[in-house]
Amino acid sequence: MKTPSTLEDASSDVEKIINELRPKSYSYEDLERFTSKFSEPLGFGGYGEVYKGQFPSGVHIAVKVLAKKDVVEETLMAEVRTLGKAYHRNLVKLYGYCFEHNMKALVYEYIENGSLDRILYENHNGIEWETLYGIAIETAKGIDYLHDGLDERIIHYDIKASNVLLGKTLSPKITDFGLAKLMKRDVSRVPLTRIRGTFGYNAPETWMPSSQVTYKCDVYSFGMMLFEILGNRRNGEGENWFPKKVWEKYKDGQLAHIINDCGITEKDYEKAKTLSMVALWCVQYTPERRPSMNDVVLMLQNKVPVDMPSYPFQFRQSWDSSMLPREVIAEIPPTQEVIAEVRSEATFTIESSYFSRKLAGKFRKKKGSQVLESEKAISLSSPYTSQQDGSKNKSLIFFEGIRQFELEDLLKSQAEMLRKDDFGTSYKAVLDNGEFLCINRLNIIQDEEKRENIETYMEVLGNLRHNNIVSMKAYYFSRDEKLLFSDYMPKGSLFSFLHTNRGVGQAPLDWNTRLKIAAGVACGLDFIHNYSSQSPTLVARGVTLSHGNIKSTNVLIDSTGNPRLTEFGLFAFASATVRSRSNGYRAPETLLAEGRKFSYQKVDIYAFGVLLLEILTGKCPFKNGGSEVVDLRRMVQQVIKKDWMAKVFDSELVMHQASEQQMVGLLEIAMSCTTFSTDKRPSICSVFNMIKDIRNTEE
């Protein structure tokens, strides 16, 4: 907690920076007058709400009122430090700021056409692909200016489609410099004190606090945005990750197929091919292999040729006897969390994809090459191995009836990141016998005092077996690592089906499938809620079991199309910051004052209601990687008042003539689940029975 003196020092630092830079200071009364008392909200971002306003001269403005107390001053300082000294046609102009006790705000130019992500995902009419290509070039010019157009480099850290605003002529302007940092030109790397950026865009090296990063992390994020422009959709996750699909088609000489699937016409083929290849270069796993933004601009403008990109993602070769380039150094350095590099004329990367691993190898000469000897010559240490004697750590606990796997299998397995959220990061791993596992690396349980409680809790959760719940196989807890092992679900999440697998060449999620998923989730949640009375451990402790984190990314689809809940029961062990964070699913009572008591099962009901609204409307309850909340209940209420049913249901459901009676019935259930009064929310058992009745309704 900051002391008063610390806050005073921080405030004086902010004022000192502001006084040295160009933006103008405005009072709270000025902002009230400019915005007509904040009467026209434009949206809610990660750090506060944005309002439309107007200077007395008639110039339109956007006023961002900073509300996230723990980062308000850091955000304001970052914006003023960077935007305050930068001027470029592809950057949003910062007119000024307000820095008063009861008001911290930033004043920008107003940009008419909203953000690029809305054009890509919400504007079904779309815009010409050639125009999108021009937006990509102009955005690249803006980032190039940040990196090389000033005395000091500016690392943005959060390049993404929602942070690219489009002016009257659809000219792009980069915004949101709340995470940005200045970097002196004689410094090649800067320390990262905390994870920055938005999952899905941020470079691998930014996933770890205390790592060293370069300005090339912006290049990676821009590459991810290029893939979204190419596909005119979100990049997805897991098996449906679009960048990986582009690479697979490219290496097989079938790039034209995926370009055609994206709805891009023949006249734009060459530009689409160029954009694809540039994107593959930008997302190279090793920062040094990524081009500079100046090179990106030149390649997109066809002023320099685009070389054939190499494999951009994590290195996937087996640990068994890998051939290395000539002139390899004699010793492989230890990994830093995930990467160890051997440098020669080319770069060879050996990675530990999901856990810390130290690697030391022996080399021997063979016909002029250097060969890394087989696995037996490699010394490995991992969270699963005792640091003292190399014996297996007894903290790897398997649940009853689960076939045990060997630690060596895990050490040798390839791992592919599936997703990342507030609770941790999930990976897909393949064992020697071909079996797939999901490994969830938790980052929420930092308090060692909770360890005994959660291990007892794990014993209960691990024995939950139901057709609509992901089965846990084992868990491992140490001071540094908390890992859960569970069944791998090959079809990804409900989120992917609703929000990623849409558009040209993608099969929509039909009504019967959506209704089946809704019923399955309700059935699984009903089992969780009622399990408390069946568990002697929970009964003895007076514990009522709940899920705690219902959302579409936590509804996974198995090989038969059956929905399964994952990440259940972990919410109670999350930090206060995570528990209080609104994500579009969180019940209103959880966002009120700390210490207030409420029923976690009723919280589940509310979140399930939001999930039903998501299934019905096809709308996501959050934007910008979770930094902006969309109130689906309020949205539906407003639409109903204006024109009942005209704009409520997903256009794909209406197009395919889904049962109106069934949709209205499910909508009524969703609205009852999301009522503000907890007493008026139905039990999950009642909800499940109502959904079953709807499924039995004659169409």
Helix or strand holding residue 64 (H, E)? strand 60-66
What DSSP line would sit under 203-219, residue for residue? -GGGGSTT-EE-THHHH
Helices 660-673 and 632-642: angle between axes, nearest 10 degrees: 130
Helix 660-673, helix 600-617: angle, nearest 10: 150
Q: Which helix (H) or strand (E) holds 245?
A: helix 242-251
**Which residue in 372, 330, 367, 366 sits closest to 350, CA to CA?**
372
Residue where the block lists tokens 């606090």: 209
Strands (E), 205-274: 212-213
CA neighbor of 525 nearest in space, from 638, 652, 612: 612
b/e map of 325-349 (b: 16 or more CB within 10 Å)?
A: eeebeeebeebebbbbbbeeeebbb
Q: Are 545 and 531 in contact (CB under 8 A)?
A: yes
Q: How many beta carbons lie within 10 A of that of residue 593, not counting itself?
A: 5
**Residues near 172 by beta carbon (within 8 Å), at least 6 away in sequence:** 90, 116, 135, 138, 139, 142, 164, 165, 166
Task: Say how far apart CA 571 and CA 579 lie, in whole Å.
Answer: 7
Active site members:
158
Helices (H), 346-473: 407-412, 451-461
Instruction: Tell me the sheet residues that pair with 62.
Output: 52, 108
Listed in order, strand segments (DSSP E) in 402-479 are 415-421, 424-430, 436-442, 472-477
Helix (H, G, I), strand (E, B) or coil at 18: helix
* Strand 60-66 to 48-54 pairing: antiparallel
Separation of CA 458 from chain center: 26
User: Taking the CB of residue 293, how many other CB atoms lie within 10 A of it?
Assistant: 24
| DSSP one-letter code for 552 | G
69 is in an annotated binding site: yes
Rounded Cα gap, residues 204 and 353, in angstroms: 11
Query: Who's near 21: CB < 8 A, 6+ residues apart?
Result: 80, 81, 84, 85
Binding site members: 69
Which segments are annotated as binding site for ATP? Answer: 69
